[in-house]
Structure 1
Amino acid sequence: MPTPATAHVSAPQPMPAAAPTHLEHDHDASTRERVRDLVLQRGPIEAARLADLLDLTPAGVRRHLGALEASGQIAVQAPPASAHRGRGRPPKRYVAALAAHDARPDASSDLAADLLRYLTVVAGPDALDRFADQREAELERRYAPIVEAAGHDVDARTRALAAALTDDGYAASSRPLPSLLALQLCQGHCPVQQVAAQFPQLCEAETRAFARLLGTHVQRLATIASGHHACTTHVPATTAPPAVLPHVPDAPGRTVSSRRPPDPVREGTA
């Protein structure tokens, strides 16, 4: 008898992976924006800390960090020399790159800078100083009610100021420095960075306003306008009467405060 033909049954083919839906794309983009915003606000920051804050897996956070780094929005901060003394490699710490600060000048930044240059030409350099003084007073008026509501504690006042600055687009945070009995007020974004890069009087006015609002000496350590990843201000945790010191444009480590008459004793010891 003829042998019946054997039917050949092909093995089931794997189903092609479904293409990501628009919803998944939107969710991915939203999560990436949250990662970027936290790096902007809290950098330098490690992937593990970001995962904790966002309730994500470390692998998921690292995927977003890789994409943000590839697009030039964030960068890995170089570790300090002391970090190489221990065993193993120190964890990567991420900071905002220039692209995250919208570093390209826009039309409004160009116009503002042109207006300030014109003001200096037609009214002299003193007019620019008076404009900076007016901005200082406006900052004080805007934030004084919020800071005063926080009470007399410098830590609470600094946190209140950071929250108010964040509401205004500065991505600010307050960080304790227990070993120095001090705080750091960090601003991860500066809406006027392009203009401030050309007119550092704006940074000085802001720093003086912070000193008066917090009621203590402050030291501006770094600014986005000068190329750093954040504006960083050192705030002593104990209140001290402000003293007047010379203003040097964008000089890291200088103490800045209100424009009260100089105290010869403090001037000699500052």
Structure 2
Amino acid sequence: MNGLQDTSTRKVILTLLKTKGSLTVNDLAKELAITEMAVRRHINTLERDGLVASTVIRQAMGRPTNQYMLTPASDELFPKNYYGLTLDLLEDLEAEDGGATVTKLFQRRKEKLLRKYEGRMDGLPLRARVAELAEIQNNGGYMVSWKEVPDGGFELLEHNCPIANVANRFEQACQCELQLFKDLLGVPVERTECLAKGGMKCTYVIQQNAAE
């Protein structure tokens, strides 16, 4: 069995455990029409990856047997529609008051992020603050790169937008991100390209204050 088939079989095992609940190696072997030895090999890999766990079931007769179940970590492997729900809720709020509440929600989110991260900027020169901001955004899934530009400022590029579905519909998301960057860095910041507006990336031009 090649690597692609191995991966496919493990996906089927995960799906069976998701739809049928806890199963034994014997149960899985019957479902998959493969040997118990092959099932154990796949289960060992899934246990190593933290996606499957086992519990011992004692029987009235015979040896105890292991039942296998999904771990909470496996939940991220299955389809989600968080953004669909988020968009529905935001659109309902927008319909209520023309968008005022939606704007307040994004502003509150910006203030919350500012309180969370502003301490990481204290006492740092601008270059270090930009590096810190890039790390913050990378941890959020934005796939950031940055560089110093000839005028002494910086350019920060976001190659991915984890909230693209929301940002494409509600420009407040992009406005609050820009304001967050300005507040965290304490210098003028301009967005010259935006993924939500058809750009290939989000590009931020960061100006250096004369004092720095």
Structure 1 counterpart of 2:92, from 79, 96, 118: 118
Q: Does 1:172 align with 2:144?
A: yes
1:213 corresponds, among 172, 184, 194, to: 184
Q: Give the number of the structure whose residues are more often helix, by fraction.
A: 2
Pairing of 1:1-270 with structure 2 (within 5 A):
22=3, 107-148=81-122, 151-178=123-150, 180-238=151-209
Tell me, in whole angstroms, the C-alpha distance in 2 between the residues paired with 1:239 and 1:188: 29
Q: Which residue of 2 aligns with 1:259?
A: none
Over the matched positions of the two proteins, sequence identity in percent amounts to 29
User: Which blocks of at least 5 consecutive residues in structure 2 are unaligned?
Assistant: 8-79
With over 3 angstroms needed to count, the CA separation of the structure-2 counterparts of 1:133 and 1:182, relative to structure 1, is: same
- Give the superposition deviation at 1:239: 6.0
| Cα distance change, pair 221–146 in 1 and its aligned pair in 2 (3 A) | same
- Note the C-alpha offset of 1:227: 1.7
- Secondary structure of the 1:232 match is strand
SS class of match (1:120): helix
Contact 1:169-1:191 at 8 Å conserved across structures: yes
Residue identity matched to 2:160:
H
> Which SS does the other structure have where 1:229 is aligned?
coil
Conservation of the 8 A alpha-carbon contact between 1:188 and 1:229: yes
Q: Compute the TM-score of the two structures, normalised by the length of structure 2.
A: 0.59
Partner SS for 2:162: coil
- How many residues in Structure 1 have an aligned counterpart in Structure 2? 138
Q: SS at 1:220's partner residue?
A: strand
Query: In the TM superposition, what whole-angstrom CA distance separates every residue of 1:105-157 from its partner, at most 9, and x where no partner exists?
Result: x7222221111110111243211221121121122123212222xx3311110
Task: Please give the alpha-carbon distance, in whole angstroms, between the structure 1 residues aligned to 2:175 and 2:208.
Answer: 21
Work out the CA distance in 2 between the residues paired with 1:141 and 1:204. Answer: 18
| Structure 1 runs not aligned, ≥5 long | 1-20, 27-105, 241-270
CA contact (8 A) 1:139 1:206 kept: no
Q: How far off its partner does 1:161 sit?
A: 0.7
Which deviations, in whole Å up to 9, do the C-alpha atoms of 1:183-224 show, x marking residues without a partner?
011111111011101101110001001001000111011111
Distance 2:109 2:210 in 1: 24
What is the root-mean-square deviation in Å for CA atoms of aligned residues? 2.4
